[in-house]
């Protein structure tokens, strides 16, 4: 069974995703699904903020599932999904099955839980090393296994009962001689001689295996029934029966159950390879999240594994990307930010335009492919443009963004003013959220000239809401700096109506850096930046220039 994940392409935005990041991922995955030949799945790299949750809820779109890491995991590898076998299966049946499926290892399971594994080497050793004629009893071999292995049938007795006492003996001599080596509870292999069969019954054998398809007399059957002795007939001769009978032993007797190296579907391939290199085992069992048996994996399958395929939207910096991005196969980047620090192994499709929103680019790509987005996709794209451009108030907004939003609003049949009011109100409604959740719901990391800093932002149309947020978030900035190992932390309280931002600062020289960057008076207490609403176009570029100088 091929692993379906091998053909999946994840479309994902940045960590601490905003409305543009999520909606663009959903809409672009939808477009790629229509024009591509793969399976494109929108994902998110972090928790959704209140505004984005509102947008998805309003347009009845299920939120993308979390993609926390794109390092290759066992679940991404083409694992051998052959089901486990019962511990009662005979080694002959197991060997036949393994030959047919061309596998070297089989898992033994019960109710989906792993009990052990058996290999072709284990079975071969069982043929070569077994000299104990009590092994059938010691292994608690079911009579049904014996019947199946010998191509026979049960004449008397219960096929589901077990041979648990005595040894295996061949009655190749006279009844007088049989009395010297056949004991109570033995399994006796014999021919069609009535006197030998009768002697075995008198000696209280527990099972008679009668060879060459010989008929069993009514008298022998009756005596066997009275004494609860099992009688099996087989078409094979005594030599063949003696050779085959040990193959009826259940696999549990030879399986390996202790000291197994077991992996889980969520384990990362790199760590799995390291462990495999230290073992001489060919195949390793894999368990799923529930602890149930999932399949078997070999080092060969790991070598053939393909990296996770990813399309990045609304970002191109490693610090903002999902963890493990350096180990993924990046197919495309669709973005509207400055060029970042990300490196790729090979060339990729990279579309970066100086517009106010990634959704604007995605909509252009719909049109370029001659596809009109449906009402739901148009709603999401329009909402993303409204969010990123602050309803066209942001300096990042271009005529292209406005034209795209107007076209999309007509397709979606929505009033942009009303949608914006509801979105921004939902985004600034942070009741019940902790200072940490507020701080990091829209937070991005940057590094310039060995200085690491982070910038969070909250947009609101109401000054009173921003003041409440300030009182809650200001005391938390020190902890935010410590947790994320940042030299400086900044938080933008952006008033959409007044088109201004109050900037909160923490860190050595952070406030002084802002005062210098924006040429403010040295005695400035509260930093209010009039006309500044964009982190991307107004705040970050100014910081970068100031820090580089």
* Helix (H) or strand (E) run with residue 480 in it: helix 477-483
Q: Which of 338, 320, 336 is nearest to 389 (CA)?
A: 336
Distances (CA, A) of 64 to 10, 46, 92, 341, 483: 10, 10, 49, 26, 27
CATH classification code of 435-548:
3.10.310.20
The pLDDT score that the predictor gives to residue 150 is 96
* Helix (H) or strand (E) run with residue 390 in it: none
pLDDT at 166 over 90: yes
Domain boundaries, the chain: 4-72+307-426, 435-548
The pLDDT score that the predictor gives to residue 299 is 81
pLDDT band at 1 (very low <50, low <70, confident <90, very high): very low
pLDDT band at 438 (very low <50, low <70, confident <90, very high): confident
Residue for token digits 């994996």? 297
pLDDT band at 4 (very low <50, low <70, confident <90, very high): low
pLDDT at 400 over 70: yes
pLDDT band at 81 (very low <50, low <70, confident <90, very high): confident
Strands 309-313 and 8-12: parallel
pLDDT at 3 over 80: no
- 69 pairs with which residues across the strands? 323
Are 248 and 88 in contact by the 8 Å Cβ rule? The answer is no
Cα(410)–Cα(155) distance, integer angstroms: 82
Q: Computed from CA positions of residues 231, 235, 238, 239, in that sequence, does the dihedral angle turn out positive or negative?
A: negative
The pLDDT score that the predictor gives to residue 343 is 80
How many percent of the chain have pLDDT more than 70?
98
Mean pLDDT confidence for 81-106: 91
Fold equal for 4-72+307-426 and 435-548: no
pLDDT band at 454 (very low <50, low <70, confident <90, very high): very high
Q: Which of 475, 474, 508, 513 is nearest to 491 (CA)?
A: 474
Angle 22-25-30 from CA coordinates, rounded to 5° = 130
Spell out where 353-499 has E strands. 443-448, 451-460, 488-495
Are 208 and 227 in contact by the 8 Å Cβ rule? The answer is no
pTM metric for this prediction: 0.65
Cα(165)–Cα(468) distance, integer angstroms: 81
Cα(422)–Cα(382) distance, integer angstroms: 14
Print the SS3 string covering 187-243.
Answer: EEEECCCHHHHHHHHHCCCCEEEECCCCCCCHHHHHHHHHCCCEEEECCCCHHHHHH
Q: Please, which contacts does 32-40 make with residues 24 or more away whose CB atoms are closer than 8 Å?
A: 32/311, 34/369, 34/371, 35/369, 35/371, 36/9, 38/7, 38/8, 38/9, 38/309, 39/4, 39/7, 39/8, 39/9, 40/8, 40/9, 40/11, 40/311
Chain segment 352-389, per-residue pLDDT in tens: 999 999 999 999 999 999 999 999 999 999 999 999 99
What's 13's DSSP letter?
-
Q: How many residues does the chain have?
A: 549
Chain segment 520-548, per-residue pLDDT in tens: 998 888 999 999 998 888 898 888 888 88
Cα(74)–Cα(77) distance, integer angstroms: 5
Mean pLDDT confidence for 163-173: 90
Cα(204)–Cα(138) distance, integer angstroms: 19
Quickly list DSSP for 423-458: HHHHHH--TT--HHHHHHTTEEEEEETTEEEEEEEE
Spell out where 269-328 has E strands. 283-287, 293-298, 309-313
pLDDT at 505 over 70: yes
Mean pLDDT confidence for 230-245: 94
97: tokens are: 């099955």
pLDDT at 37 over 80: no
Cα(251)–Cα(471) distance, integer angstroms: 69
Q: Which fold has domain 4-72+307-426?
A: inorganic pyrophosphatase (n-terminal core) (3.90.1640)
Phi, psi for residue 403 in degrees, rounded to 5: -65, -40
Mean pLDDT confidence for 454-476: 90
Are 109 and 291 in contact by the 8 Å Cβ rule? The answer is no
Angle 78-66-9 from CA coordinates, rounded to 5° = 45
Are 110 and 86 in contact by the 8 Å Cβ rule? The answer is yes
Q: Which of 450, 408, 446, 422 is nearest to 536 (CA)?
A: 446
Mean pLDDT confidence for 239-261: 91
Mean pLDDT of all residues belonging to the chain: 91
pLDDT band at 6 (very low <50, low <70, confident <90, very high): low
Cα(423)–Cα(55) distance, integer angstroms: 7
Cα(11)–Cα(227) distance, integer angstroms: 72
pLDDT at 419 over 80: yes
125: tokens are: 């050793």
How many percent of the chain have pLDDT more than 90?
64
SS3 content of the chain, % helix, strand, coil (to 5): 40, 20, 35
Mean pLDDT confidence for 73-81: 85
pLDDT at 142 over 50: yes
Mean pLDDT confidence for 344-352: 89
């Amino acid at each position: 069974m091929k692993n379906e994940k091998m053909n999946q392409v994840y479309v994902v935005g940045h960590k601490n995703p905003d409305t543009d990041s999520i909606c663009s991922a959903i809409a672009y995955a939808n477009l790629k699904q229509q024009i591509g030949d793969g399976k494109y799945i929108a994902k998110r790299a972090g928790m959704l903020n209140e505004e984005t949750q509102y947008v998805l809820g309003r347009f009845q779109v299920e939120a993308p599932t979390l993609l926390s890491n794109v390092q290759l995991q066992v679940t991404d590898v083409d694992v051998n999904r052959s089901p486990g076998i019962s511990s009662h299966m005979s080694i002959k049946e197991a060997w036949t099955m393994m030959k047919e499926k061309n596998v070297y290892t089989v898992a033994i399971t019960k109710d989906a839980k792993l009990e052990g594994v058996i290999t072709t080497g284990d079975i071969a050793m069982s043929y070569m090393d077994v000299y104990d004629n009590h092994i059938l009893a010691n292994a608690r071999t079911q009579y049904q296994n014996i019947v199946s292995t010998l191509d026979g049938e049960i004449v008397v007795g219960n096929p589901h009962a077990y041979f648990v006492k005595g040894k295996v003996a061949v009655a190749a001599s006279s009844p007088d001689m049989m009395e010297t080596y056949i004991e109570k509870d033995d399994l006796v292999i014999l021919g069609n001689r009535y006197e030998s069969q009768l002697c075995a019954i008198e000696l209280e054998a527990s099972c008679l295996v009668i060879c060459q398809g010989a008929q069993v007399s009514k008298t022998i059957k009756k005596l066997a029934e009275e004494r609860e002795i099992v009688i099996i007939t087989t078409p094979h001769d005594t030599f063949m029966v003696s050779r085959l009978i040990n193959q009826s032993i259940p696999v549990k007797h030879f399986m390996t159950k202790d000291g197994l190296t077991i992996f889980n579907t969520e384990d990362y391939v790199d760590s799995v390879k390291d462990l495999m290199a230290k073992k001489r085992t060919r195949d390793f069992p894999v368990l799923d999240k529930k602890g149930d048996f999932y399949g078997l994996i070999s080092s060969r399958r790991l070598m053939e594994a393909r990296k996770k395929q990813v399309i990045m939207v609304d970002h191109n910096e490693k610090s903002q990307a999902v963890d493990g991005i350096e180990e993924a196969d990046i197919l495309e980047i669709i973005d509207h930010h400055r060029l970042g620090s990300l490196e790729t192994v090979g060339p990729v499709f990279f579309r970066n335009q100086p517009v106010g929103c990634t959704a604007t680019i995605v909509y252009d790509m719909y049109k370029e492919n001659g596809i009109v987005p449906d009402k739901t996709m148009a709603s999401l794209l329009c909402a993303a443009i409204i969010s990123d451009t602050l309803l066209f108030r942001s300096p990042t907004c271009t005529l292209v963004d406005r034209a795209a939003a107007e076209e999309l609003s007509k397709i979606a049949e929505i009033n942009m003013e009303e949608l914006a009011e509801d979105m921004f109100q939902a985004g600034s409604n942070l009741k019940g959220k902790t200072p940490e959740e507020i701080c990091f719901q829209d937070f991005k990391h940057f590094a310039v000239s060995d200085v690491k800093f982070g910038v969070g932002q909250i947009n609101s149309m109401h000054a009173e809401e921003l003041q409440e947020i300030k009182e809650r978030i200001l005391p938390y900035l020190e902890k935010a700096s410590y947790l994320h190992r940042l030299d400086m932390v900044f938080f933008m309280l952006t008033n959409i109506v007044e088109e201004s931002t109050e900037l909160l600062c923490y860190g050595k020289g952070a406030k002084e850096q802002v005062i210098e960057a924006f040429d403010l008076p040295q005695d400035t207490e509260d930093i209010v930046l009039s006309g500044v609403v964009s982190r991307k176009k107004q705040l970050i570029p100014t910081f970068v220039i100031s820090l580089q100088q």
